[in-house]
Amino acid sequence: QLSDQQKMCESPLSWLRGVYLPPALHPLNKTLVRDGKWKDVDSTQEKRRSLLHDFCKKYNSRKKLQTHLVHLVSRIYVEDRHKVLYCEVPKAGCSNWKRVLMVLNGLAASAHNISHDDVHYGKHLRKLDSYDLKGIYTRLNTYTKAIFVRDPMERLVSAFRDKFEHPNSYYHPVFGKAIIKKYRHNANEEALKTGSGVKFKEFIQYLLDSHRPVGMDIHWEQVSKLCYPCLINYDFIGKFETLEEDANYFLQLVGAPAELKFPKFKDRHSSDERTSAEVVRQHLKELSEEERQLIYDFYSLDYLMFNYTSP
């Protein structure tokens, strides 16, 4: 409950408090689901929700979490027509999710006609941190909140492949140059100049370094720090591994038009093999046993919150 003084507060930036326990787990509103074929998906959904809630109860009772409200909701996209909040987790189907939100919002007729650049740089969708305090609270308390996650190691390898194994005008000069300079002994002039050709082992050295030469990035940041699943009570937890059926069930829950289905296409580098368990294994071969353990430790909250088995 907010005090009157806090309610009057203009800027969410000034709102700071410790949170100890997750909010109560509310039942999902299933009144808009049109047929009975979703029984198994729904059962899985309930298990995921209660597992996350139980984990957060244990985790938060030991640790006081403090964060600015505006930061807490900075990755959450808003779709007002169907009252949806979607927390963006890169490399877990987020491009197609943003396409779907644009269709739901009446900004496009079909998800298939929206380009990658339009999705990520078009500024068509509002984020929750762009609203005032009342707008943020109203939506958090009344909209259906969704998060879609992915096996942490698979997500990490997918991000590396996307950003470093293909030409990239941002990640190579910004991250690549700094990574090669710090972690590659006897790097040649070309590599230092372009930042291209970062090896997976070098990328992992950067990730695990407490004195990183360049900051974190949303593509490999932990989901626990992107979406704060123990502080925001997500109504729906989808997984990349069951993306299509989870997404289409969610669209039923929020009353989306019957003809709107979650897109199947791969957003970028469509000729590449998807990042599978085998592709992950090939990348992990480059690492020592200690490095592999340290990656697991780095993502341990994500593994535990979403019930992924350690690799």
Structural contact between residues 208 and 297, judged by C-beta atoms closer than 8 angstroms: no
Structural contact between residues 184 and 192, judged by C-beta atoms closer than 8 angstroms: no
As to burial, measured by CB atoms within 10 angstroms (0-12 exposed, 13-18 middle, 19+ buried), residue 208 is: middle
pLDDT digits (tens, 9 = 90+) for 194-244: 999 999 999 999 999 999 999 999 999 999 999 999 989 999 999 999 999
Q: Does residue 2 surpass a pLDDT of 70?
A: no
pLDDT digits (tens, 9 = 90+) for 47-65: 999 999 999 988 875 555 5
At 11, the pLDDT band (50, 70, 90 cuts) reads very low
Show the CA angle centred on residue 307, arms to residues 248 and 221, nearest 5°. 85
> Whole-model pTM?
0.88
Q: Tokens 């985790």 label which residue?
A: 59
